[in-house]
Structure 1
Amino acid sequence: MLSTASRIAARPAIARNGAQVRNMATLKEVQLRLKSVQNIEKITGSMKMIASTKVNKAQRAMENARAFGNASSSLYVSAETQPVEDGKTLFVASSSDRGLCGGIHSSVSKATRRAIAKQPEAPVVVLGDKSKAQLSRAVRKNLTLSFNQIGKGVPTFDEACSIVDVIQESGIEYDNVDIVYNKFLSPISYEADVLRTFSQDAFKASPNFAVYEIEDDVLANLEQFTFANAVHHALVEGHAAEMCAKRAAMENATKNAGEMISKLTMFYNRGRQAVITNELIDIITGASAL
């Protein structure tokens, strides 16, 4: 949007008779564009500050979620749990409802599409409207459930439990669950990754399952807890990556707006100076003629 305004302001206008004339882009128009870009710079600067304040909070929540998520994953690692051969896999795409954060939602959608290409009949649950809109164009027949109102704040464990309850009550059959999310690498980088959790049957088939001596009623609760833990881990880590991406996007937008303001200011000053010079020439010429 900003680059378009710059091109419009910089290119010469075409007179009605077809001849090119110097575009005074009417100084009024340039002044209005300059004011518009200045307003955009204020907005993006404010959004950058807001995202910056949310980043620290999101990173603290991410560290706590990682501790519980890694504990759940270590359970399956210790039991040497493996995906059931020819088992059903449920894919959960974890994103949010918010935009203005670069291609962070696209990375989840692309990774989910690559995974579904290997299992075309696998059901998909989408967390967040952004990935839902992207996946519905490519794998609409696989979409089973979707959740919104995600990403307004730091996701909580209660929200993850509610999501898991709805999934299990929907009757979706699965042996393995692959949660596709954005893994936080640093404040300026992230990558799509997969968190895997398993059903009761898959866990029972683990080589080291007998070591735990878990009763069946406890096993059902354990499955729900590890599933909710993994969803919470994915949501919180994705939220932290999203806040950092949003801060970077707003920082770049503010920088671009500042560059645009400099160009438009220079263009406006040159045009204004040309108008003043022409008026002085007319005055001097008129005085000389007298």
Structure 2
Amino acid sequence: MLARRSVARLVVQPSPLGAPPQSARNMATLRELELRLKSVRNIEKITKSMKMIASTRLAKAQRAMQTGKQYGIANSEIFQNTQPEEAPTRKLFVVISSDKGLCGGIHSSVSKATRRSVKTGENGGSKDSPIVVVGDKSKAQLSRTLSSNLAITFNQIGRDIPTFADAAGVTDLIVKTGIKYDAIAIVYNKFVSALSYEHAVVEVPNEEVLKAAAGFNAYEMEDDVTKDLAEFSLANAIYAALIEGHACEISARRNAMDNAQKNASDMISSLQMKYNRGRQAAITNELVDIITGASAL
């Protein structure tokens, strides 16, 4: 008799103070999963929309890049005939990036190449090489370790498709600032395909190198002609780098949004499975409570 009373006392013993019942815990977990599913679905919609926009802009950017490459081809013919006899001792690095993110590691690519050139002497760089940065993203990355080397920074350039006026404005400010350099190295992203890119460096000679080149000494030219040619060649090279870097950025953003959309879809499938299992467990617990109560009556 005493044993039976003790068993009954154990059965009706209430839960510890402050501990929610099992059904309440299940409902809270289901509510959290439901809210998370809703937020992930919203993220999937956003990434899908951004992927579609980037896909539309990519075709336009590629057409502009093919036109802009003609400027770089014209420059390469000039640079082939103006090779300096001595290696430049002070290079000015012009880093081409943009102000926008959500495009993978495309900005880190040019930032790492510039940092490596300055610290290790790659591409003729040195620890006191001045740096000109186009775009806020690379500016933020380079300012952490090479803040003393930053001479000029630009933003709001190439928000849509870069124009020659943008490149001319960058060139004009570089010339007017009076930065001392022997050569200019433009660091930008080279378009390989719609799925890949790589950083590249183009060296542009300055006015003194053009004057000392054997190909130019064969002709009688005024000083203004050589100066204008040097500025125009720099603007051409910057424009070609800007427009090719823009195409790389749009392509990288499309790929990044595609990967983000796939990850969101996988996460939705996983969360939906957890939600269904939790809902089935809650229904099972409620059925057990009902059957137990009916049996007791």
TM-score by length of 1: 0.89
Counterpart in 1 of 2:173?
Answer: 166
Other structure's SS at 1:208 match: helix
Counterpart in 1 of 2:110?
Answer: 108
The reply to whether residue 154 of structure 1 matches residue 161 of structure 2 is: yes
Shift of 1:214: 3.6
Counterpart in 1 of 2:256?
Answer: 249
The reply to whether residue 286 of structure 1 matches residue 288 of structure 2 is: no
Alpha-carbon distance between aligned partners in 2 of 1:196 and 1:83, rounded to the nearest angstrom:
15
Counterpart in 2 of 1:95?
Answer: 97
The reply to whether residue 62 of structure 1 matches residue 65 of structure 2 is: yes
**Farther-moved stretch of structure 1 (213-222 vs 193-202):** 213-222
Amino acid at match of 2:79: Y
Other structure's SS at 1:26 match: helix
Task: Assess, with a 3 A threshold, how the Cα gap between structure 1 residues 273 and 54 changes in structure 2: closer, same or farther.
Answer: same
Counterpart in 2 of 1:35?
Answer: 38
Report matched runs for 1:76-155 at 5 Å: 76-77=79-80, 79-82=81-84, 84-117=86-119, 118=121, 119-155=126-162
Task: Assess, with a 3 A threshold, how the Cα gap between structure 1 residues 31 and 212 changes in structure 2: closer, same or farther.
Answer: farther
Shift of 1:82: 2.5
Shift of 1:203: 1.2
Shift of 1:288: 2.6
Counterpart in 2 of 1:6?
Answer: none
Task: Assess, with a 3 A threshold, how the Cα gap between structure 1 residues 279 and 209 changes in structure 2: closer, same or farther.
Answer: same
Asked if structure 2 preserves the Cα contact closer than 8 Å seen for 1:89 and 1:178, the reply is: yes
Shift of 1:212: 5.2
Out of 220, 224, 229, the position equivalent to 1:217 is: 224
Asked if structure 1 preserves the Cα contact closer than 8 Å seen for 2:23 and 2:285, the reply is: no
Q: How many residues in Structure 1 have an aligned counterpart in Structure 2?
A: 273
Other structure's SS at 1:174 match: coil
Q: Report which of the two structures shows the higher radius of gyration computed on alpha carbons.
A: 2
The reply to whether residue 73 of structure 1 matches residue 80 of structure 2 is: no
Amino acid at match of 1:224: E
Other structure's SS at 2:127 match: coil
Shift of 1:129: 0.6
Other structure's SS at 2:217 match: helix
Counterpart in 1 of 2:6?
Answer: none
Task: Assess, with a 3 A threshold, how the Cα gap between structure 1 residues 84 and 145 changes in structure 2: closer, same or farther.
Answer: farther
Shift of 1:209: 2.0
Shift of 1:23: 6.6
Amino acid at match of 2:275: Y
Asked if structure 1 preserves the Cα contact closer than 8 Å seen for 2:55 and 2:254, the reply is: yes
Out of 45, 50, 53, the position equivalent to 1:50 is: 53
Question: CA deviation digits over 1:84-113, x for unaligned, max 9?
Answer: 444421110110111111111011011001
Asked if structure 1 preserves the Cα contact closer than 8 Å seen for 2:82 and 2:209, the reply is: no
Task: Assess, with a 3 A threshold, how the Cα gap between structure 1 residues 182 and 86 changes in structure 2: closer, same or farther.
Answer: closer
Amino acid at match of 2:63: R
Out of 176, 197, 200, the position equivalent to 1:190 is: 197
Asked if structure 2 preserves the Cα contact closer than 8 Å seen for 1:83 and 1:175, the reply is: no
Asked if structure 2 preserves the Cα contact closer than 8 Å seen for 1:44 and 1:250, the reply is: yes
Other structure's SS at 1:154 match: coil
